[in-house]
Structure 1
């Protein structure tokens, strides 16, 4: 059985998880092969991809509620800018702590379970935030703790998603799934911003927390009731034991030894670079437009780039899976997608430091943002190629390091802007980080499994 995917051609044998069966195994039906490998059949995959898209959308809605309501809450509770920053920053500190733990738990018990449990938990916190705010006199402390807990619980989402993808989806279709999930995040950001403005004016800031928390809770309940409870998607103890006793077993010593392999540390480093530049653009883009084009409509530059990102992410995922299905090697496809995400996008970032019109600036940043989403089918999915047995834990480590490096680069950019009073250095720094990460990935990146013992690495032709 082709349990070890080592090239794009191998993935064709079982290329039916999302798009339907293509080739039947001579020893049985394709459904039997999928069940034995614990992969999703087509009908189940279609349901899951829709629900995971909605779940990612709600995740970002819940994440953006506090930033959207921060001004109203600061006025209501007499917060200073420092107080507001403390509350908002609590999320990111909590977000870093559970990345590895969530991924490791997903690798052991199945990503589906961790996703639903965490979603139900952060839904409860979101819905109860207004109650906590009015509960006592220590509102600032309560909100900071609430945001910290929100970060802790949401920190497991994407590592669990990476683990789930490596467990349930064939190699040639992971790019589209991850791209779809990331596009759901962009949609959630747009919905939170658009609906948030209306709800704040009509019903107050509390309504944002109540509605988002209730919707997220309903999502978790529906997934549990109709996709997990009593379904064939559940991991059985027998299946887990088989995984741990076979090629999936990985001791802590060998887990640490993964970082000695060039493709692994190149992937981690590139993901860190990509995350840090994305966080920096997201954080400082409104300030750039406000200072450079003070009379421009904020709605345009706060919406159009993220509207562009949604179809771009979906298109990038489709193209990557199509190239793999046509016989291109997985490693080549991952590098091509990352070339567009970090290299070509940087070509549209640099002109922002020059003397350009508002329309040109919007076009350039929208193009750069759209191209950057190609990382979803590049380095972001590469962890599932290299280490499917511990994809969740390793992706959690990558995400944690990316968040930390992002905080550093955002802070450094703020210092540079304050000292130089120019955006040229900031955009040059973003380009330098992108090009460095891209160069490392192109030079040392790969897509062959590295989590197997040397004596068990068998290429099935």
Structure 2
């Protein structure tokens, strides 16, 4: 998140431009300085280049992230893992993920997001490519896989994921898994990530950096706009607490579904094609996410209260989606199971227009830092939910308990959001603004 916000503002070597007499750079931008000017914007060609580069990089990041869930069944069969052990491996990613959320944003603010992104991409790509080697040459594959997943989360935590990219990754990963074995998924995604990092370093950063020193971490970059006292006051606001709790619930249920759905389909429908259940739900999620954004913008432009619109979007995301999640508890055929999962994942994306953007309504002056706190809490709950789900499956032998748990957590988050969420600014003195908030 911090990486994209930094680039979206005004910073990056060879990217921000001044209308002075300087030679053009290699991507057609005249007169670019390697300084941090206060009020500059990207030219349209530069913005397009970096948009494509970051989109591709995020795709590769998510490819590496979902490699383990896609291959979990095959690896569990080969290494004789129980459901609880599979849950430990899948959940270990989120331990690393939650540890470096805030730190990654801090380092990005101090030394530049592109340096952090470059280092982490090279590191997570290398770790992904070496994962099969660790699994085959270590005497305890369960320990090596747990460590590898932890480091993957540690290296990826500062980059925002894009849900819709799972469409491409799910299909390609499933085909590679069926044709060439689970090792190929890790090799391809890891090596492509390293190649992407090299191309970014060579052609966009012109072979410079990344050089991160202790001095650069301690100086430079924008300072926080809020003091510790103001942060404490902010976190005491019921609306802020509601956003954190709701995001925690949303993230934990999403991470659980993301981690365990491939295993659910393989266990319940062993003859089903992997590319079907790894692609169709995300094929529904893409237009659903876009539709929710257009719908929320339209409602707000028509004069509906912002808080009411946020709550409506979250009701679809956590309330209506839970209905389809509960339908998975019964005996269903494969087509109906795919339909229910597709509806669940599609409706879940409505949170992109609910709690995910509500943080910007509440505290635009520190939305990035607050979102980092939310993601940290969500990742930590993801650890517990993913592992506990594996324990439930092993203890009860039923997937219904997992889906019931997901529904319970969703309803808890939804009730919290409906009761306490607002859309007025709480990071400034409320007496300075006028805002009428209508609750539903």
Q: CA separation of 1:275/1:336 partners in 2, compared to 1, >3 Å: closer, same or farther?
A: same
Distance (whole Å) between structure 2 residues aligned to residue 152 and residue 125 of structure 1: 11
Aligned counterparts of 2:138 and 2:387: Cα–Cα separation in 1: 33
Of structures 1 and 2, the one with the larger relative CO (CA 8 A, separation 6+) is 1
Q: CA deviation at 1:262?
A: 1.5
1:343/1:435 contact within 8 Å kept: yes
Task: Give unmatched runs, 5+ long, in structure 2.
Answer: 1-36, 208-215, 436-440
Per-residue Cα deviation, 1:77-97 (whole angstroms, up to 9, x for no partner): x67558766655442322221
Query: Do residues 212 (structure 1) and 189 (structure 2) align?
Result: yes
Aligned residue for 1:365? 341
Give secondary structure in 2 for the equivalent of 1:447.
coil
Partner of 1:395: 371
Separation of aligned partners in 2, 1:335 and 1:416: 31
**TM-score normalised to the size of structure 2?**
0.72
The 2-side partners of 1:225 and 1:459 are apart by 50
In structure 2, the residue matched to 1:10 is none
| Aligned twin of 1:433 | 409
Contact preservation (8 Å) 2:174, 2:275: no
- Would you say 1:267 and 2:243 are equivalent positions? yes
RMSD between aligned residues: 4.0
Q: Take 2:88 and 2:149, find their aligned partners in 1: how far apart are those partners?
A: 10
CA gap 1:140/1:314 in 2 versus in 1, 3 angstroms: same
Q: Contact conserved, 2:129 with 2:188, CA < 8 A, in 1?
A: yes
Structure 1 position 188 matched with structure 2 position 169:
yes
Does the Cα contact within 8 Å between 2:129 and 2:191 map onto a contact in 1? yes
Pairs within 5 Å for 1:257-406: 257-286=233-262, 288-289=264-265, 293=269, 296-324=272-300, 328=304, 330-406=306-382
Q: What does residue range 25-424 of structure 1 map to in structure 2 within 5 Å?
A: 44-68=46-70, 81=82, 87-108=89-110, 111-129=113-131, 142-158=144-160, 181-200=162-181, 205=183, 207-224=184-201, 244=223, 249-286=225-262, 288-289=264-265, 293=269, 296-324=272-300, 328=304, 330-417=306-393, 423-424=399-400
For 2:372 and 2:327, the matched residues in 1 are separated by: 34
Alignment partner of 1:446 is 2:427: no
Q: Which string of whole-angstrom CA distances, capped at 9 and with x for unpartnered residues, describes residues 62-121 of structure 1?
A: 123345556776788x67558766655442322221122123334555544433332232
Question: Helix, strand or coil for the counterpart of 1:51?
Answer: helix
When the two structures are superposed, what TM-score results if normalisation uses the length of structure 1?
Answer: 0.69
- Give the Å deviation of 1:360: 2.6
Which structure 1 residue ranges, 5 or more long, are not aligned? 1-34, 162-180, 231-236
Contact 1:104–1:390 (CA under 8 A) maintained in structure 2: no
Number of aligned positions between the proteins: 389
**Is the CA contact 1:94–1:150 (under 8 Å) kept in the aligned structure 2?**
yes
Residues 208 and 350 (structure 1), Cα distance of their counterparts in 2 relative to 1, 3 Å cut = closer
Q: Secondary structure at 2:422's aligned position in 1?
A: coil
Cα deviations by residue, 1:32-83 (Å, 9 ceiling, x for unpaired): xxx976666665554444333322221121123345556776788x675587
Structure ranking higher in helix proportion: 1
Q: Deviations over 1:108-148 (max 9, x none)?
A: 55544433332232123233445656777777655543332
Cα distance in 2 for partners of 1:422, 1:72 equals 20
d(CA) in 1 for partners of 2:286 and 2:404?
A: 26
